[in-house]
Amino acid sequence: MTEASLRTEIADSWRRSERSGLDPAAGTDRLPVHDIDQDTELVRAARPVLDEMARHLADTGYCVALADRDCHIVARRFGGRNVEQALDSIGALPGSKFDEASTGTNAIATPFVLRRGVAIHGAEHFLHSFKQFTCYGQPIFHPVSKQLAGVLDITGLTKDDNPLLAPFVVRAVADIEQRLCASAADGERLLLAAFQAAQHRTSALLALGPGVVFANTAAIDLVDPTDHALFRELARRPSPSAKRLRLAGGTSVRVCAEPIGSEVGTLFTLTPLTETAEAIPRGRTDTRLLPSQIEQDIARYTRNRDRVLIAGEPGTGRSSTAALLAGAAPLAWLPGADLPTLGASAWCARLDTLIATHPGLVVVEDVHLLPRMLATRLSHLLDSTDAWLALTGTPEHTEPGQTGELAALLARLPHRVELPPLRTRRAELPALARTMLSTMAPGRSLRLTPSALEILATQPWPGNLRELSAVLRQCVERRSAGDITPRDLPPAYQQAAIHPRTGWEQAEYDAITRALRAARGNKVHAARDLGISRSTLYNRIRTLGINT
């Protein structure tokens, strides 16, 4: 079957699989198997439904498989031994992660991406080893939180295809969601009991569960609704040690997180710190878009008229940081991107004029675009003049330790400011969004609801602050005042990202991308520098969705 003859949703899935670096001939019999919890809310709700399905499928060639919200298979039921052996042979085992990056198009991975039921028939599977099967998968949504809880799949051999598979699975999913609803009610009662039992504490108390929030008076005074996204992120990875956080209102607190039951919720104890920064009154907003430490460094460099390299991914605020560095002094720009239109001679003449006559800060933007000759020329100018200069560039081209004319130029700047990408600043997203909204729509009292912030916090943000600004500007155009809900977001941002990275995965992602940049894309050298095998590096590149 050619890609041109595929249904649109299947062709799109094939392209996603290809972009992940997956080979259609790849085997899945050695997929890594992860430890799974057999006592989660989803498994408990699904167990009697799966048992009933198994009773109906007895002596047939069908299998049902349940995957959790992370795409790990957590339960299976079989109608016959032959299909069990066939699925074992392709790695469809409890604990295997069946996402498109590792298993291509199939009725677990693809419904997980599309968030709707999908049938996959024989040759429509991306991997050759899966083409012997026909299957139908239906996503399971938690009725309270409305978040994806898992996927239910029914699979059989291609020769046993049956049009009744879809309604059979849809009904089973409805039963599981109904049981999740009942379980959520029990969980809310358990969370409330834990919250009430802790009321004797003098600290601020906040309890978060799926779709429910409890707070005492002290917590209501401290916590803004926009902070809920941050606390829900903490609840995903509770730590036995206390954490220090700065809330949207400006108060720093020490937070202890206590999980209640299994997936019931989390009880947070908040203790304000005496060494907090000045709190920001309700109705006002923090005007900073840069991390506070960078802002302090920039203020010092401004006072001393220091030369600075400002490195950051596109959209992280390099130009804004340069403008902040200039302070009250005049500011002149010389973009490296103007070289093709101006020509090298005119560009150099403008550089010479600015160096000789401009009384304030001269910013050479995108210094990584300069050819070797101009990088050398600028190095000589830095050595022969006291002019105040700043250079901007991308991290991969300005990484310390490189060689060549550009590296020699950058070595002449005594200070480097590294602007963090937005994906590493998820905890700051509420404050950043409020700052941008107050600038775009002064006096209009616009605010993002916690649910909208939770969705935005899962996005990958390749365009960084510039992308966030564009999203919020569309929201401002749609709503004149009041709450911005998920439905007010641009269509592409109205659902949580499919694979939001955990903090650990993000750290892995950043470490691998840095190593690849330093090794100029050479994976053998990058693996050696990271201290891992080449096969492990390839696996992590594919799993984390790193473009190479």
Query: For the chain, what is the largest distance between any 2 Cα atoms, rounded to a whole number of angstroms?
Result: 88
pLDDT of residue 324: 93
Among 87-96, 127-136, 309-318, 327-336, the range scoring the smallest mean pLDDT is 87-96
> SS3 breakdown of the chain: % helix, strand, coil, rounded to 5?
50, 20, 35
Q: Which of 116-120, 425-429, 472-476 has the lowest mean pLDDT?
A: 425-429
Dist CA 530 CA 40 (whole Å): 35
- Residue 247's pLDDT band (cuts 50, 70, 90): confident
How does pLDDT run across 263-272, given as a tens digit for each residue?
678 889 998 8
Helix boundaries (H) for 243-343: 292-304, 318-326, 339-342
pTM: 0.55
According to the model, what pLDDT value does residue 203 have? Answer: 81
Percent of the chain residues topping a pLDDT of 70 = 91
Q: Please state whether beta strands 388-393 and 361-365 pair in parallel, antiparallel, or not at all (unpaired).
A: parallel
pLDDT at 3: 63
Read off the pLDDT of residues 415-440 as tens digits, 9 standing for 90 and up. 999 998 988 887 788 888 888 988 88
Structure tokens at 251: 């108060």
> Is the Cα torsion angle 233, 74, 92, 11 positive or negative in sign?
negative
Contact 89, 133 (CB under 8 A): no
Nearest to 154, CA basis, from 172, 142, 176: 172
Backbone phi and psi for residue 437, each to the nearest 5 degrees, phi listed first: -65, -40
Mean pLDDT of 459-470: 90
Phi-psi region of 327 (alpha: psi -120 to 50; beta: other; left: phi over 0): left
Is the pLDDT assigned to residue 497 strictly greater than 70? no
What pLDDT sits at residue 419? Answer: 92
Q: pLDDT at position 279, please? A: 41
Share of the chain above pLDDT 90, in %: 28
Quote the pLDDT of residue 237. Answer: 67
Judge whether residue 331 has pLDDT over 90. yes
pLDDT digit string, tens, across residues 9-31: 999 999 888 887 888 988 776 67
Query: From CA 57, how far away is CA 64, in angstroms rounded?
Result: 9
- Determine how many CB atoms are found less than 10 A away from the CB of residue 251: 20
How far is 482 from 509, CA to CA, in rounded Å? 37
CB 497 within 8 A of CB 503: no
The tokens for 358 are 């401009």
Residue 548 scores a pLDDT above 80? no
Query: At residue 367, does pLDDT exceed 80?
Result: yes
Sheet holding 252-260, edge to edge: 212-215, 204-209, 265-272, 252-260, 243-246
Output 478 or 297, whichever has higher pLDDT.
Answer: 297
Q: Would you state the pLDDT for residue 21? A: 82
pLDDT band at 278 (very low <50, low <70, confident <90, very high): very low
Of 84-98, 229-243, 343-357, 519-533, which range is least confident? 229-243
The residue-averaged pLDDT of 282-301 equals 73
Tokens read off for 483: 């709450």
Encoded amino acid at 10, one letter: I
Residue predicted with more confidence, 157 or 335: 335
pLDDT category at 287 given cuts 50, 70, 90 is very low
Residue 260, SS3 per DSSP: strand
Look up residue 424 and give its two tokens: 């590493």
* Helix/strand/coil (H/E/C) assignment for every residue in 108-156: CHHHHHHCCCEEEEHHHCCCHHHCCEEEEEEEEECCCCCCEEEEEEEEE
pLDDT 10s digits, 208-245: 887 778 888 888 888 877 787 778 777 776 666 778 88
Q: Which value, to the nearest 10 degrees, does the dihedral of the CA atoms of residues 108, 112, 113, 117 take?
A: 80
Cβ-in-10-Å burial (0-12, 13-18, 19+) of 256 comes to middle
